[in-house]
Structure 1
Amino acid sequence: MVVLLISDNQQKITAAKIAILLCTYNGERYLAKQLDSFSVQTYPNWQILASDDGSIDNTLAILKSYQAKWSVKKFSIYSGPAKGFAANFFFLTHKANRLINTDYYTYSDQDDIWQADKLQRAIDWLSTVPKNIPALYSSRTCLIDTNDHCIGFSPLFTKPPGFANALVEAIGGGNTMVFNRAACELVCQASQQIDIISHDLWVYTVISGCGGQIFYDADPSVCYRQHDSNLVGRNNSWPALFVRIRMLFEGRFRNWNDAKIHALQPIEAKLTPENKAILREFTAARNKKFWPRLVGLKRSGIYRQTGLGNLGLTVAAIFNKV
């Protein structure tokens, strides 16, 4: 006879609930594989909130078929705001925060495949953080093609996460993010009437800026699909580099930073004193002439995770495109 002993801590972790926030739009081709990867998670206590942003293919029918299989209680479906993927994720985050009582939240794209232990690994770390402290888990990804074959990995980041990094770079994709209730409430407070192009970068910025804890897992937790319909794809290939150089000189990064700084103003009081100083130095330096701009940006402490990334940041600073 085998007796299985389960500690009180393990029981508490297993009892914790997690909400999967799934956003869809014309995702019929790969959606079923993503949903199937939820069903084989080693962590079982999850429920899905899906927001479809006006699909005209069979996406909604696929969602409803899985809802019928898993029950309405475990799988809720909503109509999104039809303002793009970032707005859809924020819409769903606010809805989950208002409507359900859960401990953790995770974002999901419609075309990836999760590793079976994705949720368990995230909750193992999140459960070590006091509930009143905002906490965010994210990870590296395995890149897969349209036939589910691994074609590489996202960059391996080794520098510590932080606000000075978040101002200029996202280290973990939204499709890997898992966060606690304190983080969700903070993000909801900071996401009222904002126009941010990237929900994952905004979540990283807000949680790191307000003194939350961030964990970057070097082991991939998601198979991140690369295909022609990607709104955001891999960023470590030469074509991706050339696209980013073009976007840089078109002024898009500077425009995104303008929007981010504007969106941070209402929550500046919630930033830690150190991060307030970083933001003010960064904001002021961006509008100075050549040498004061370079000195000010250096003094602000902003950084990217790789040498090539920091070289690009320097070029952007020289041409006033930060």
Structure 2
Amino acid sequence: MVTILLATLNGEKYLKAQLESIAAQTYENWQLVVGDDGSTDQTLEILREFQKEHPNQVTIYENNPPFGSAKGNFINLLRNSYGPHFMFCDQDDVWKRDKIYLTLQKMEALETRYGDKVPILVHSDLSVVDENLEMVAESFFQYANLPKRVMLNRLIVQNSVTGCTVMINRCLQQFFLRQLPIPKIIMHDYWAALIAKVFGKIGFVNEPTMLYRQHGHNSVGAKDAMNVKFLYGRLKEGKNSYRRMMIESMEQIQGFVGTYGKEIQDLDSYELLKNYGELYYKGKLRRLAFYRHNQVLKEGRIRKLMQWLWG
């Protein structure tokens, strides 16, 4: 059984296509748990119609009051759902027919190797498409210039795990049942990736399992890392915007250490996380020395340049 967690908010335009792609999966032993965060369009009607078609597989919750963020919605769903495996699902994408099968196959291989008492996360590549599902880039990782291998010293400063491709096992889900520093968590998928990297294993499916629709209103979205217009925009946003993002990443790690620090057995990992979480309070030269010494650097020349200039 795979539990699919879907967060919705005014998603009527693309939601039906996503639901149809779930229903068309080659792996049929799934359940869908939806958290709607106060939709005022036809989202709930679309969901209820899908529930009628799959009465034993679909559960719908209406958040009252709304959480006000995809992060809060997903974390609540994760805390209140059950199953051996969980997948995150966005309302505006389209899954390829074998998405669940391929991801679960990788998950089961890792659980066979390491056991199901180890927190495991599996993610995949994805294809970037426009609002009409026309292909923009076959590979998101090439498009965004992101590394496929997740290293802790890079992960703390740059997340390369895309939530809508993620599957986690029950052991990792249990980490979300603690008292969490929600305001410090950047996104649910980022937090899950940190848990898996520090305490468990991360697996990767090296092929696109879904169509990642870009329409201008994505919560995160795909960015062409080599696009001159995008790079100019990032530079134009300037130091203050970039520093805010860096501070948010440091505060997230500070919250991570505060929540799980006593359980981190690898001393080097603990020191890396603890020191990065406290880095904002250091002078710029100390920060730059830390980045260099620990290779805590973002992927890509422009990203590195901004980190050296403003980090």
Q: TM-score when scaled to structure 1?
A: 0.85
Q: 1:266 to 1:34 in 2, by over 3 A?
A: same
Alignment partner of 1:143 is 2:128: yes
Aligned to 1:249: 240
Does the 8 Å contact 1:24/1:110 carry over to 2? yes
How far apart, in 1, do the equivalents of 2:201 and 2:263 lie?
Answer: 15
Instruction: Go from structure 1 to structure 2 and tell me whether the alpha carbon gap of 1:192 and 1:281 turns closer, same or farther (over 3 Å shift).
Output: closer
1:307 to 289, 300, 304: 300
Q: Determine if contact 2:94/2:211 at 8 Å carries over to the other structure.
A: yes
Of 89, 92, 99, the match for 1:111: 92
Q: Please say if 1:86 is aligned against 2:74.
A: no
User: Is it true that 1:294 corresponds to 2:288 in the alignment?
Assistant: yes
Contact kept, 8 Å, 1:31 with 1:59, in 2: the verdict is: yes
The structure 1 residue matched to 2:210, chosen from 201, 222, 225, is: 222
Residue 259 of structure 2, aligned match among 262, 266, 271: 266
Task: Name the SS for the 2:272 alignment partner.
Answer: helix
**Does structure 2 retain, via aligned residues, the 8 Å contact 1:41–1:119?**
yes
Q: Following TM superposition, by how much is the alpha carbon of 1:302 offset from its aligned partner in structure 2, in angstroms?
A: 2.0
Q: For residues 49-80 of structure 1, what are the alpha-carbon distances to aligned partners after superposition, in whole Å with 9 as ceiling and x for unaligned? A: 00000000000000000001100x31000123
Residue of structure 2 in register with 1:169 after alignment: 158
Alignment length, in residue pairs?
Answer: 295
Give 1:158 deviation, angstroms.
Answer: 4.3
For 1:181-196, what aligned pairs fall within 5 Å after superposition?
181-189=170-178, 191=180, 193-196=182-185
> How many percent identity over aligned positions?
26
How far apart are residue 191 of structure 1 and its match?
3.4
Is it true that 1:77 corresponds to 2:60 in the alignment? Answer: yes
- What's the CA shift string for 1:227-279, capped at 9, x where partnerless? 02222111225344344442753232123124303321121122332310111
1:203-214 equivalences under 5 Å are 203-209=192-198, 211-214=199-202
Q: Which residue of 2 aligns with 1:231?
A: 219
Contact 2:92/2:213 (CA < 8 Å) preserved in 1? yes
Do 1:164 and 1:302's aligned partners in 2 also have CA atoms closer than 8 Å? yes
Q: CA deviation at 1:285?
A: 4.1
Opposite residue 89 of structure 1, the aligned amino acid is: F
TM-score normalised over the length of structure 2:
0.87
Mind listing any 5+ residue stretches in structure 2 that lack a counterpart?
A: none
Q: What residue is the counterpart of 2:274 in the other structure?
A: 280
Change (3 A) 1:146 1:158: closer
Q: Measure the CA separation in 2 of the matches of 1:234 and 1:127.
A: 29
2:42 match:
58
Alpha carbons 2:25, 2:98 under 8 Å: kept: yes
Q: Is the 8 A contact 1:194 1:263 kept in 2?
A: no
What's 1:9 paired with?
A: none
Provide the secondary structure at the position in 2 that maps to 1:77.
strand
For 1:25, which of 6, 9, 16 is the aligned residue? 9
CA 1:195 to 1:260, structure 2 compared with 1: closer, same or farther past 3 Å? closer
Q: Which one of the candidate residues 43, 46, 53 is aligned to 2:30?
A: 46
**Structure 1 letter corresponding to 2:294:** S
Deviation at 1:88, TM superposition (A): 0.6
For 2:126 and 2:174, the matched residues in 1 are separated by 26
1:121 equivalent to 2:121? Answer no
**Cα–Cα, structure 1 residues 175 and 241, in superposed 2: closer, same or farther, change >3 Å?**
farther
> Residues of 1 paired with 2:300 and 2:270: CA distance?
26
1:198 Cα deviation (Å)? 1.7
SS in 2 for 1:197: coil
**1:299, CA displacement in angstroms?**
2.3
Match of 1:8 in 2: none
Q: Is the Cα–Cα contact under 8 Å of residues 261 and 283 in structure 1 kept in the other structure?
A: yes
**d(CA) in 1 for partners of 2:97 and 2:239?**
37
RMSD: 2.0
Gaps of 5+ in 1: 1-16
Deviation at 1:208, TM superposition (A): 1.1
